[in-house]
A and B are shown apart, each in its own frame.
Chain A
């Protein structure tokens, strides 16, 4: 395990929740001074050169996202930090906000400078009350020290940051749903266009960035953008905070450069698979397609390699599964999750995720039937690209890939039903003697 530059997690375990400690560690210093001498355009160009990509899952280049925001439109520009981390297997933002809230605030000041933001919001999911407390404590310290509020550090620049507590909806991690939730509505994704960068919260330009993206900014500003870009792959610069969970010895949050081989992550960072042999890895959170042991052996953790293996990098949340688990059980868990978290807007997702979950439940209960797997695959075909947001595909994708890669598990379960091959009695309704 090569020693890696710690961009986001450098202050872990050092008590950086306190502003004095954070300043001693280099916070609120050179980076801000450097930023305050830059124009907005220069700063956006700087971030573009660092090749920083959004860390929330979609991996959109951050600098480019900022450059889409119309400046001088006469409307306020909002930055909303997406701390609604709810994807199964993802828990980096939780620990980033707990351990280093000031870095998030400093990153927000930098981002706000780039976009001319007066008011920024941190949308934190409701379950993270300890994180919100940690952030609010840090905000109080930052206000007291003059890093927030009117005329920050003697400049003409002012910024207020508010923490908005969500209330339990996974879908609010989608940026337009998050904006709706911030506006005090139901967290349902909006139709696009208009994209939030043009018309988002309260019809104003809005940038939604992940916690980790914002927290990478202070380091990038302390160093040179090329230094950051160099650490990753050609398409995406920098390091990534990986979350490793599941059947490994040391699950947790690890920062590593993009492009690290998957087995290095599992064996060297997380201490190896426990409880059995490696069966599958979900490389990017619960909604991505799993890789089986052979694929995991050759995969590297970056956007390109995982995309080429028909799965996705997502938020870098690896879930390691050993061979004692049946994939049907896990898919049932996902079915439960996604059918519970569908916002109820688009028909295929609203009705379809629940339907898939009911079919999976039957299979798990030993009432599976021949043809159920094909039926599920066919139903998932009805999800493809037809809904406003990708939540339906987040279940449709796993259903297709689990059934394709681990068909044996499904057949085993279905075989538990003694009547699994009995032909289905088709009830027909046709004009009978009454007509």
Chain B
């Protein structure tokens, strides 16, 4: 609620380095940011609940206290709202008993009215409150049972439980995708700030005041926004939970694969959280240049269909490229490696092969959060690799010239059956696809390959950033192979590893030659000379 316009300044690689004194030791930290980020940059973690790097500072949790030497002696300040000043003297719990006690006291207050139901809480394991408590909390309650609890809750939802205790709403259906547990809310107002400042639609607000504050939408209205599931990511406690993931999997059983969403040409950075060979959820992965910490619902929920309706792996000898001209159509989710392999195949076929790319789906507008609106994810990659990214109409016009059609990850018939119908005139139709989609059904040979969530590879997003995909071990069949393996095998030079395929791509696109697959950072690399 505070000055809602003060976004935190985050350190960058170009931040000036200044010297400050932490616990009386000189430390070089980024000079243009707040203390919390500066300390983080040198490896000192400060517990915090309300602070989020991509939300305006609210400063209400009072958890990130440090001591600062000032004109009036050592004062407790919140590190999230204290700018770094060269030469400032800071004391952390490592040296200051006062800071330690203050954080412990705040932690105690935080839990006074918070239910202690971690064992049945879905956030347990990734709960900020829990982490802070384990680090700095007070192990034994100092309160007598008679003092009781004053659970936060909407008066409309409050009820008296079987022990006579007044309780807040435990599973409030706050929106189509989110459930709210009012008691677990710690009033950090992250979700309020997210909806107001990032989503631009103030659907949530803290109502009431003092220890009767509760989070609420306008009565009778639901929390419904393309980015509303981000609220469950930033909720530091188990108050807001996503219905799709609620009680599906304990979070400590999940493994995380960092990759890039090929749902949209912004290429939002994501974590694929998987266990038992199955993706359980998709979480945004922070990339300051791309999607910050946000991910749209569409991209996020897409994983639910990744394992459905898959094509089986068949023997590659089933693919027979006959005589006559060959059209190779590459879909938007093809990686740079796939494009390199496709060009190898074209080269091997000589002049009779042509590469086509594009989509029949409409291209929308960027929303400024985590979507560019372009369904053709690797469009910039096509440009970099010299593959047409929008010449499907050309193919449709010249359809009579071709005798073989190879589609790679391109569901032309599924996207627009009417526009794609002339392609049925081509006799030999080979579909390389992860899914048994409309194009695969129309194909003479449907060859199952791996989905983008299961492959190593790279893509260039709409901002010209080269990003790396990692394979989650969730392919339904071990025999399934990435598209570049299949294509390169068809070309006669089999490539079985993404780094080699990327090297090959460097031969076709000089801008990629200066990178090797292994030294692309997790946040990607901005390509030189790619128009944005």
Nearest residue (CB) in B for A339 is B210
Query: Are A375 and B105 neighbours in the complex by a CB distance under 8 Å?
Result: no
B57 at the interface (CB under 8 A from A): yes
Which listed residue (A186, A359, A426) contacts B147, Cβ 8 A? A359
- Interface of B, secondary structure class, is loop
Which listed residue (B3, B62, B101, B187) contacts A344, Cβ 8 A? B187
Nearest residue (CB) in A for B80 is A191
Query: Are B62 and A358 neighbours in the complex by a CB distance under 8 Å?
Result: no
Which listed residue (A194, A341, A348, A359) contacts B3, Cβ 8 A? A194
Query: Are B60 and A388 neighbours in the complex by a CB distance under 8 Å?
Result: yes
User: Contact flags (1/0) for B229-251 with A, using CB distance below 8 Å?
Assistant: 00000000000000000000000
Query: Are A347 and B65 neighbours in the complex by a CB distance under 8 Å?
Result: no
Nearest residue (CB) in B for A199 is B3
Query: Are A186 and B2 neighbours in the complex by a CB distance under 8 Å?
Result: no
Nearest residue (CB) in A for B205 is A186
B502 at the interface (CB under 8 A from A): no
Q: What residues on A are CB-neighbors of B210 within 8 Å?
A: 339-344, 350, 353-354
Interface residues of B in 140-156 (CB under 8 A from A): 140, 142-148, 150
Nearest residue (CB) in B for A383 is B105
Query: Are B101 and A358 neighbours in the complex by a CB distance under 8 Å?
Result: no
Nearest residue (CB) in A for B5 is A203
Query: Are B106 and A350 neighbours in the complex by a CB distance under 8 Å?
Result: no
Q: What residues on B are CB-neighbors of A339 within 8 Å?
A: 210-211
Query: Are B62 and A387 neighbours in the complex by a CB distance under 8 Å?
Result: yes
State how many angstroms separate the Cβ of B192 from the closest Cβ of chain A: 11
Which listed residue (B59, B106, B142, B213) contacts A348, Cβ 8 A? B106
B108 at the interface (CB under 8 A from A): yes
Query: Are B65 and A381 neighbours in the complex by a CB distance under 8 Å?
Result: no
Q: What residues on B are CB-neighbors of A362 within 8 Å?
A: 144, 146-147
Query: Are A381 and B105 neighbours in the complex by a CB distance under 8 Å?
Result: yes
State how many angstroms separate the Cβ of A421 from the closest Cβ of chain B: 13
Which listed residue (B2, B6, B140, B142) contacts A375, Cβ 8 A? B142
A351 at the interface (CB under 8 A from B): yes
Rounded to whole angstroms, the CA-CA distance of A180 and B65 in the bound complex is 25
State how many angstroms separate the Cβ of A182 from the closest Cβ of chain B: 14
Q: Which of B75, B110, B144, B187 has the largest count of A CB atoms less than 10 A from its CB?
A: B144
Query: Are A358 and B150 neighbours in the complex by a CB distance under 8 Å?
Result: yes
Query: Are A367 and B109 neighbours in the complex by a CB distance under 8 Å?
Result: no
State how many angstroms separate the Cβ of A259 from the closest Cβ of chain B: 26
Rounded to whole angstroms, the CA-CA distance of A359 and B106 in the bound complex is 18
Size of B's binding interface in residues, CB under 8 A:
43
User: Contact flags (1/0) for A336-366 with B, using CB distance below 8 Å?
Assistant: 0001111111111011111100110010000
Rounded to whole angstroms, the CA-CA distance of A29 and B131 in the bound complex is 67
B124 at the interface (CB under 8 A from A): no
Query: Are A426 and B140 neighbours in the complex by a CB distance under 8 Å?
Result: yes
B206 at the interface (CB under 8 A from A): yes
Query: Are B147 and A358 neighbours in the complex by a CB distance under 8 Å?
Result: yes
Which listed residue (B2, B81, B212) contacts A345, Cβ 8 A? B2
Rounded to whole angstroms, the CA-CA distance of A341 and B208 in the bound complex is 11
Nearest residue (CB) in A for B50 is A347
Q: What residues on A are CB-neighbors of B187 within 8 Å?
A: 344-345, 347, 350
Query: Are B62 and A186 neighbours in the complex by a CB distance under 8 Å?
Result: no
A308 at the interface (CB under 8 A from B): no
- Interface of A, secondary structure class, is loop
Q: What residues on A are CB-neighbors of B113 within 8 Å?
A: 351, 354
Query: Are B106 and A345 neighbours in the complex by a CB distance under 8 Å?
Result: no
Q: What residues on B are CB-neighbors of A381 within 8 Å?
A: 101, 105
User: Contact flags (1/0) for B93-117 with A, using CB distance below 8 Å?
Assistant: 0000000011001101110110000
Q: Which of B57, B60, B140 has the largest count of A CB atoms less than 10 A from its CB?
A: B60
User: Contact flags (1/0) for B193-220 with A, using CB distance below 8 Å?
Assistant: 0000000000000101111110000000
Which listed residue (B1, B62, B147) contacts A347, Cβ 8 A? B62
Nearest residue (CB) in A for B105 is A382
- A344 and B209 in contact, given A359-B147, A362-B147, A386-B76 (Cβ under 8 angstroms): yes
Query: Are B2 and A348 neighbours in the complex by a CB distance under 8 Å?
Result: no
Interface residues of A in 97-148 (CB under 8 A from B): none
State how many angstroms separate the Cβ of A216 from the closest Cβ of chain B: 29
Which listed residue (B59, B140, B208) contacts A388, Cβ 8 A? B59
Query: Are A386 and B65 neighbours in the complex by a CB distance under 8 Å?
Result: yes
Q: What residues on B are CB-neighbors of A388 within 8 Å?
A: 2, 59-60
Query: Are B209 and A347 neighbours in the complex by a CB distance under 8 Å?
Result: no
Query: Are A350 and B213 neighbours in the complex by a CB distance under 8 Å?
Result: yes
State how many angstroms separate the Cβ of A175 from the closest Cβ of chain B: 13
Nearest residue (CB) in A for B75 is A385
State how many angstroms separate the Cβ of A251 from the closest Cβ of chain B: 29
Query: Are B209 and A191 neighbours in the complex by a CB distance under 8 Å?
Result: no
Q: What residues on B are CB-neighbors of A427 within 8 Å?
A: 145
Rounded to whole angstroms, the CA-CA distance of A358 and B101 in the bound complex is 23
State how many angstroms separate the Cβ of A363 from the closest Cβ of chain B: 11
Q: What residues on B are CB-neighbors of A386 within 8 Å?
A: 62, 65, 76, 102, 105-106
Rounded to whole angstroms, the CA-CA distance of A190 and B112 in the bound complex is 24
Rounded to whole angstroms, the CA-CA distance of A180 and B209 in the bound complex is 15
B467 at the interface (CB under 8 A from A): no
List residues of A whose CB falls within 8 A of some B CB: 169, 180, 185-186, 188-191, 194, 203, 339-348, 350-355, 358-359, 362, 367, 369, 375, 378-379, 381-382, 384-388, 424, 426-427
Q: List 26 A-B residue pairs with CB atoms under 8 Å apart, sorted by A's residue number.
A: A186-B206, A188-B2, A190-B2, A191-B3, A342-B211, A344-B208, A344-B209, A344-B211, A345-B60, A346-B60, A347-B109, A347-B186, A348-B62, A348-B105, A350-B213, A351-B109, A351-B110, A352-B109, A352-B112, A354-B150, A354-B211, A362-B146, A375-B142, A378-B142, A386-B76, A427-B145
Given contacts A203-B5, A358-B147, A386-B106, 20 further A-B contacts (CB under 8 A): A186-B209, A191-B2, A191-B6, A339-B210, A342-B211, A343-B210, A345-B2, A345-B187, A346-B62, A347-B60, A348-B106, A350-B109, A350-B210, A351-B110, A352-B112, A355-B147, A375-B143, A382-B102, A387-B62, A388-B2
